[in-house]
Structure 1
Protein backbone atom coordinates (compact mmCIF):
# COMPACT_ATOMS: atom_id res chain seq x y z
CA UNK A 1 0.00 0.00 0.00
CA UNK A 2 2.88 2.37 0.87
CA UNK A 3 4.47 1.64 -2.52
CA UNK A 4 1.24 2.56 -4.32
CA UNK A 5 1.18 5.86 -2.42
CA UNK A 6 4.84 6.63 -3.17
CA UNK A 7 4.50 6.14 -6.96
CA UNK A 8 2.13 9.08 -7.59
CA UNK A 9 4.14 11.24 -5.18
CA UNK A 10 7.35 10.55 -7.12
CA UNK A 11 5.61 11.16 -10.44
CA UNK A 12 4.27 14.45 -9.10
CA UNK A 13 7.76 15.56 -8.06
CA UNK A 14 9.21 14.64 -11.48
CA UNK A 15 6.48 16.50 -13.36
CA UNK A 16 6.86 19.51 -11.06
CA UNK A 17 10.62 19.59 -11.67
CA UNK A 18 10.12 19.35 -15.44
CA UNK A 19 7.49 22.10 -15.42
CA UNK A 20 9.89 24.43 -13.63
CA UNK A 21 12.66 24.04 -16.23
CA UNK A 22 13.51 27.53 -17.54
CA UNK A 23 12.50 28.48 -21.07
CA UNK A 24 14.05 31.11 -23.40
CA UNK A 25 12.80 34.58 -22.51
CA UNK A 26 12.79 38.21 -23.68
CA UNK A 27 14.11 41.11 -21.64
CA UNK A 28 11.86 44.12 -20.87
CA UNK A 29 11.20 46.19 -24.03
CA UNK A 30 12.60 49.42 -22.55
CA UNK A 31 15.90 49.13 -20.73
CA UNK A 32 19.02 51.15 -20.03
CA UNK A 33 22.17 50.29 -18.15
CA UNK A 34 25.92 49.85 -18.24
CA UNK A 35 28.33 47.12 -19.19
CA UNK A 36 32.01 46.31 -19.19
CA UNK A 37 33.24 44.64 -22.37
CA UNK A 38 36.54 42.74 -22.61
CA UNK A 39 38.28 41.75 -25.83
CA UNK A 40 40.93 39.31 -24.48
CA UNK A 41 42.74 38.81 -27.79
CA UNK A 42 43.10 42.56 -28.31
CA UNK A 43 43.84 43.38 -24.65
CA UNK A 44 41.07 45.94 -24.82
CA UNK A 45 38.52 46.89 -22.15
CA UNK A 46 35.55 49.17 -22.85
CA UNK A 47 32.90 50.67 -20.56
CA UNK A 48 29.52 51.39 -22.12
CA UNK A 49 26.22 53.07 -21.37
CA UNK A 50 23.39 51.64 -23.46
CA UNK A 51 19.75 52.45 -24.17
CA UNK A 52 17.47 49.76 -25.55
CA UNK A 53 14.02 50.31 -27.10
CA UNK A 54 12.42 47.16 -28.51
CA UNK A 55 9.12 49.00 -29.15
CA UNK A 56 10.57 51.62 -31.48
CA UNK A 57 13.48 49.31 -32.45
CA UNK A 58 16.26 51.70 -31.43
CA UNK A 59 19.62 51.22 -29.70
CA UNK A 60 22.05 53.89 -28.44
CA UNK A 61 25.54 52.99 -27.22
CA UNK A 62 28.06 55.41 -25.68
CA UNK A 63 31.42 53.74 -25.04
CA UNK A 64 34.88 54.66 -23.78
CA UNK A 65 38.01 52.63 -23.20
CA UNK A 66 41.74 52.27 -23.64
CA UNK A 67 43.87 50.26 -26.02
CA UNK A 68 47.48 50.70 -25.02
CA UNK A 69 48.08 54.45 -24.72
CA UNK A 70 45.18 55.29 -27.03
CA UNK A 71 41.84 56.44 -25.66
CA UNK A 72 38.79 55.09 -27.49
CA UNK A 73 35.39 56.77 -27.59
CA UNK A 74 32.25 55.92 -29.57
CA UNK A 75 28.66 57.17 -29.69
CA UNK A 76 26.46 55.10 -31.97
CA UNK A 77 22.73 55.44 -32.61
CA UNK A 78 20.98 52.62 -34.49
CA UNK A 79 17.48 53.26 -35.85
CA UNK A 80 16.40 49.90 -37.25
CA UNK A 81 12.98 50.95 -38.58
CA UNK A 82 14.54 53.83 -40.48
CA UNK A 83 17.45 51.64 -41.57
CA UNK A 84 20.07 54.17 -40.44
CA UNK A 85 23.11 54.01 -38.15
CA UNK A 86 24.74 57.21 -36.85
CA UNK A 87 28.27 57.60 -35.54
CA UNK A 88 28.11 60.82 -33.52
CA UNK A 89 31.07 63.06 -32.62
CA UNK A 90 30.06 65.92 -30.32
CA UNK A 91 33.60 67.29 -29.91
CA UNK A 92 33.62 68.56 -33.51
CA UNK A 93 29.85 68.33 -34.18
CA UNK A 94 30.13 65.79 -37.01
CA UNK A 95 28.30 62.59 -37.94
CA UNK A 96 28.77 59.53 -40.08
CA UNK A 97 25.47 58.21 -41.44
CA UNK A 98 25.36 54.62 -42.72
CA UNK A 99 22.64 52.29 -44.03
CA UNK A 100 21.43 49.69 -41.54
CA UNK A 101 20.01 46.86 -43.61
CA UNK A 102 19.59 44.19 -40.96
CA UNK A 103 16.47 43.29 -38.95
CA UNK A 104 16.13 44.36 -35.33
CA UNK A 105 16.80 41.46 -32.98
CA UNK A 106 15.40 41.84 -29.45
CA UNK A 107 17.40 41.29 -26.28
CA UNK A 108 16.49 37.69 -25.53
CA UNK A 109 17.58 34.11 -25.12
CA UNK A 110 17.51 32.60 -28.65
CA UNK A 111 14.72 30.04 -29.04
CA UNK A 112 17.23 27.33 -29.98
CA UNK A 113 19.63 28.05 -27.07
CA UNK A 114 20.49 25.08 -24.87
CA UNK A 115 19.70 25.43 -21.18
CA UNK A 116 22.73 24.49 -19.07
CA UNK A 117 21.98 25.05 -15.41
CA UNK A 118 20.29 27.23 -12.84
CA UNK A 119 22.28 28.67 -9.93
CA UNK A 120 22.30 31.31 -7.22
CA UNK A 121 24.84 34.13 -7.42
CA UNK A 122 25.78 34.99 -3.86
CA UNK A 123 24.09 33.09 -1.03
CA UNK A 124 20.79 31.25 -0.77
CA UNK A 125 20.96 31.11 3.03
CA UNK A 126 18.73 34.12 3.59
CA UNK A 127 16.38 36.22 1.42
CA UNK A 128 18.06 39.07 -0.40
CA UNK A 129 21.56 37.55 -0.27
CA UNK A 130 21.47 35.85 -3.66
CA UNK A 131 20.23 36.13 -7.24
CA UNK A 132 18.70 33.22 -9.15
CA UNK A 133 20.11 33.00 -12.70
CA UNK A 134 19.97 30.69 -15.72
CA UNK A 135 22.87 29.77 -17.99
CA UNK A 136 22.48 29.09 -21.71
CA UNK A 137 24.70 28.25 -24.66
CA UNK A 138 24.35 27.99 -28.42
CA UNK A 139 25.69 29.01 -31.83
CA UNK A 140 24.76 31.98 -34.01
CA UNK A 141 23.72 30.39 -37.37
CA UNK A 142 24.85 33.32 -39.56
CA UNK A 143 28.32 33.89 -38.10
CA UNK A 144 28.93 30.45 -36.53
CA UNK A 145 29.95 32.19 -33.30
CA UNK A 146 29.41 30.28 -30.08
CA UNK A 147 27.82 32.07 -27.13
CA UNK A 148 27.33 31.64 -23.40
CA UNK A 149 24.59 33.70 -21.72
CA UNK A 150 23.59 34.32 -18.11
CA UNK A 151 20.17 35.92 -17.51
CA UNK A 152 18.18 36.37 -14.32
CA UNK A 153 15.36 33.88 -13.73
CA UNK A 154 12.98 36.69 -12.74
CA UNK A 155 12.78 39.63 -15.15
CA UNK A 156 15.02 38.05 -17.83
CA UNK A 157 17.79 40.62 -17.25
CA UNK A 158 21.15 40.04 -18.98
CA UNK A 159 24.11 39.65 -16.62
CA UNK A 160 26.94 38.02 -18.53
CA UNK A 161 27.54 37.36 -22.23
CA UNK A 162 30.43 35.57 -23.96
CA UNK A 163 30.91 35.28 -27.72
CA UNK A 164 33.79 33.06 -28.80
CA UNK A 165 35.29 31.42 -31.88
CA UNK A 166 38.53 29.66 -32.74
CA UNK A 167 40.00 33.08 -33.53
CA UNK A 168 41.14 34.58 -30.23
CA UNK A 169 40.95 38.18 -31.45
CA UNK A 170 37.19 37.83 -32.04
CA UNK A 171 36.33 36.61 -28.54
CA UNK A 172 34.20 38.95 -26.42
CA UNK A 173 33.11 38.96 -22.76
CA UNK A 174 30.56 41.43 -21.35
CA UNK A 175 29.18 42.02 -17.85
CA UNK A 176 25.98 44.06 -17.31
CA UNK A 177 25.21 46.19 -14.26
CA UNK A 178 23.06 49.12 -13.04
CA UNK A 179 20.15 48.01 -15.24
CA UNK A 180 17.03 50.18 -15.07
CA UNK A 181 13.57 49.52 -16.51
CA UNK A 182 12.37 52.20 -18.92
CA UNK A 183 14.15 55.04 -20.73
CA UNK A 184 14.71 58.15 -18.59
CA UNK A 185 15.26 60.45 -21.61
CA UNK A 186 13.47 59.29 -24.82
CA UNK A 187 15.32 61.99 -26.79
CA UNK A 188 18.43 59.84 -26.55
CA UNK A 189 17.14 58.18 -29.75
CA UNK A 190 16.93 61.48 -31.66
CA UNK A 191 20.11 62.31 -33.62
CA UNK A 192 21.58 65.79 -32.90
CA UNK A 193 20.71 68.60 -35.31
CA UNK A 194 24.19 68.69 -36.82
CA UNK A 195 23.50 65.20 -38.27
CA UNK A 196 20.53 66.44 -40.34
CA UNK A 197 22.52 67.55 -43.38
CA UNK A 198 24.88 64.57 -43.46
CA UNK A 199 24.78 62.45 -46.62
CA UNK A 200 24.04 58.74 -46.30
CA UNK A 201 27.08 56.58 -47.04
CA UNK A 202 26.80 53.55 -49.30
CA UNK A 203 28.67 51.17 -47.01
CA UNK A 204 26.37 48.98 -44.89
CA UNK A 205 26.78 48.75 -41.14
CA UNK A 206 27.80 45.29 -39.88
CA UNK A 207 25.25 44.79 -37.08
CA UNK A 208 23.42 41.48 -36.63
CA UNK A 209 21.63 41.64 -33.27
CA UNK A 210 21.44 43.46 -29.94
CA UNK A 211 24.67 42.00 -28.60
CA UNK A 212 26.79 42.77 -31.68
CA UNK A 213 25.29 46.28 -31.73
CA UNK A 214 26.68 46.79 -28.24
CA UNK A 215 29.95 44.94 -28.70
Structure 2
Protein backbone atom coordinates (compact mmCIF):
# COMPACT_ATOMS: atom_id res chain seq x y z
CA UNK A 1 0.00 0.00 0.00
CA UNK A 2 1.73 3.15 -1.19
CA UNK A 3 -0.04 5.49 1.21
CA UNK A 4 1.42 3.48 4.11
CA UNK A 5 4.74 2.77 2.34
CA UNK A 6 4.20 -0.99 2.75
CA UNK A 7 4.62 -3.85 0.31
CA UNK A 8 2.67 -7.06 0.96
CA UNK A 9 3.78 -10.35 -0.56
CA UNK A 10 1.46 -13.28 0.18
CA UNK A 11 2.39 -16.89 -0.61
CA UNK A 12 -0.94 -18.38 -1.72
CA UNK A 13 0.18 -21.94 -0.93
CA UNK A 14 1.51 -21.43 2.60
CA UNK A 15 -0.51 -18.27 3.45
CA UNK A 16 2.71 -16.73 4.75
CA UNK A 17 2.81 -12.96 4.40
CA UNK A 18 5.95 -10.87 4.12
CA UNK A 19 5.53 -7.12 4.80
CA UNK A 20 8.37 -4.80 3.78
CA UNK A 21 8.88 -1.16 2.81
CA UNK A 22 7.97 -0.32 -0.78
CA UNK A 23 10.88 -1.28 -3.05
CA UNK A 24 10.29 1.68 -5.39
CA UNK A 25 8.31 4.92 -5.48
CA UNK A 26 4.82 5.06 -6.90
CA UNK A 27 4.57 6.79 -10.28
CA UNK A 28 1.47 8.87 -10.81
CA UNK A 29 -0.33 8.71 -14.13
CA UNK A 30 -1.89 12.14 -13.79
CA UNK A 31 -0.40 15.24 -15.39
CA UNK A 32 1.86 17.01 -12.87
CA UNK A 33 1.01 20.68 -12.19
CA UNK A 34 4.38 21.82 -13.57
CA UNK A 35 4.17 19.77 -16.82
CA UNK A 36 4.52 21.71 -20.07
CA UNK A 37 1.65 21.47 -22.54
CA UNK A 38 3.19 20.64 -25.94
CA UNK A 39 0.11 20.47 -28.12
CA UNK A 40 -2.99 18.66 -29.27
CA UNK A 41 -3.28 15.98 -31.94
CA UNK A 42 -6.11 14.14 -33.67
CA UNK A 43 -5.19 10.44 -33.71
CA UNK A 44 -7.06 8.16 -36.11
CA UNK A 45 -9.38 9.06 -38.99
CA UNK A 46 -9.91 12.76 -38.36
CA UNK A 47 -13.46 13.90 -38.96
CA UNK A 48 -14.91 10.38 -38.94
CA UNK A 49 -17.20 9.86 -35.92
CA UNK A 50 -15.95 7.26 -33.41
CA UNK A 51 -12.77 6.64 -35.42
CA UNK A 52 -10.42 9.11 -33.77
CA UNK A 53 -9.41 10.61 -30.45
CA UNK A 54 -8.12 14.05 -29.56
CA UNK A 55 -4.97 13.81 -27.41
CA UNK A 56 -2.92 16.30 -25.42
CA UNK A 57 0.84 15.93 -25.10
CA UNK A 58 2.82 17.07 -22.05
CA UNK A 59 6.45 16.82 -20.96
CA UNK A 60 8.69 17.93 -18.15
CA UNK A 61 11.21 16.79 -15.59
CA UNK A 62 10.54 14.90 -12.37
CA UNK A 63 11.87 15.71 -8.88
CA UNK A 64 15.20 14.06 -9.80
CA UNK A 65 15.44 16.14 -13.01
CA UNK A 66 14.72 13.09 -15.21
CA UNK A 67 12.74 13.81 -18.40
CA UNK A 68 9.22 12.42 -18.92
CA UNK A 69 6.35 12.80 -21.39
CA UNK A 70 2.66 11.95 -21.31
CA UNK A 71 0.00 11.58 -23.97
CA UNK A 72 -3.50 11.91 -22.51
CA UNK A 73 -7.01 11.83 -23.98
CA UNK A 74 -8.38 15.30 -24.50
CA UNK A 75 -11.87 14.68 -23.12
CA UNK A 76 -11.21 12.79 -19.85
CA UNK A 77 -7.42 13.21 -19.44
CA UNK A 78 -6.89 9.44 -19.38
CA UNK A 79 -3.35 8.18 -20.05
CA UNK A 80 -2.59 6.73 -23.49
CA UNK A 81 1.19 6.65 -23.32
CA UNK A 82 3.79 7.72 -20.77
CA UNK A 83 7.54 7.59 -20.83
CA UNK A 84 10.42 8.57 -18.62
CA UNK A 85 14.14 8.10 -18.33
CA UNK A 86 16.31 7.59 -15.27
CA UNK A 87 19.87 6.39 -14.76
CA UNK A 88 18.48 3.60 -12.55
CA UNK A 89 16.00 2.14 -15.06
CA UNK A 90 16.93 3.62 -18.42
CA UNK A 91 14.01 4.47 -20.71
CA UNK A 92 10.58 3.17 -19.69
CA UNK A 93 7.54 3.54 -21.97
CA UNK A 94 4.04 2.45 -20.97
CA UNK A 95 0.99 2.14 -23.21
CA UNK A 96 -2.57 2.12 -21.85
CA UNK A 97 -5.62 0.59 -23.52
CA UNK A 98 -9.06 -0.67 -22.47
CA UNK A 99 -9.00 1.79 -19.56
CA UNK A 100 -12.05 1.86 -17.29
CA UNK A 101 -12.78 4.86 -15.11
CA UNK A 102 -13.11 4.03 -11.42
CA UNK A 103 -12.29 0.94 -9.39
CA UNK A 104 -14.88 -1.83 -9.59
CA UNK A 105 -13.76 -3.46 -6.32
CA UNK A 106 -11.81 -1.12 -4.00
CA UNK A 107 -11.49 -3.98 -1.47
CA UNK A 108 -8.61 -5.38 -3.53
CA UNK A 109 -6.46 -2.72 -1.83
CA UNK A 110 -7.14 -4.11 1.67
CA UNK A 111 -4.32 -6.41 2.78
CA UNK A 112 -5.33 -10.06 3.27
CA UNK A 113 -6.08 -11.16 6.85
CA UNK A 114 -2.78 -13.12 6.88
CA UNK A 115 -0.92 -9.81 6.58
CA UNK A 116 -2.48 -7.84 9.43
Please tell me the TM-score bracket, short chain as reference: 0.7 to 0.9
> What is the DSSP-based 3-state SS (H/G/I as helix, E as strand, rest coil) of the residue aligned with 2:100?
strand
The alignment status of 1:153 with 2:48, answered yes or no, reads no
> What is the DSSP-based 3-state SS (H/G/I as helix, E as strand, rest coil) of the residue aligned with 1:194?
helix
> What is the DSSP-based 3-state SS (H/G/I as helix, E as strand, rest coil) of the residue aligned with 1:187?
helix
User: What is the RMSD computed on CA atoms of the aligned residues?
Assistant: 2.5
The alignment status of 1:118 with 2:40, answered yes or no, reads yes
Aligned structure 1 segments of 4 or more residues deviating by more than 6 angstroms: none
Quote the residue 2:9 is aligned against: 87
Over residues 101-145 of structure 1, what are the superposed CA-to-partner deviations in whole Å (9 max), with x where a residue is unaligned? xx988542111111112101211131111010011110002x221
User: Which TM-score applies when normalising by structure 2?
Assistant: 0.82
Unaligned segments of structure 1, at least 5 residues: 1-77, 197-215
Quote the residue 1:129 is aligned against: 51
Quote the residue 2:111 is aligned against: 191
Higher share of residues assigned helix: 1
Larger radius of gyration: 1
User: Which TM-score applies when normalising by structure 1?
Assistant: 0.47
Cα separation, partners in 2 of 1:121 and 1:90, compared to 1, 3 Å: farther
Higher relative contact order (CA 8 A, sep 6+): 1
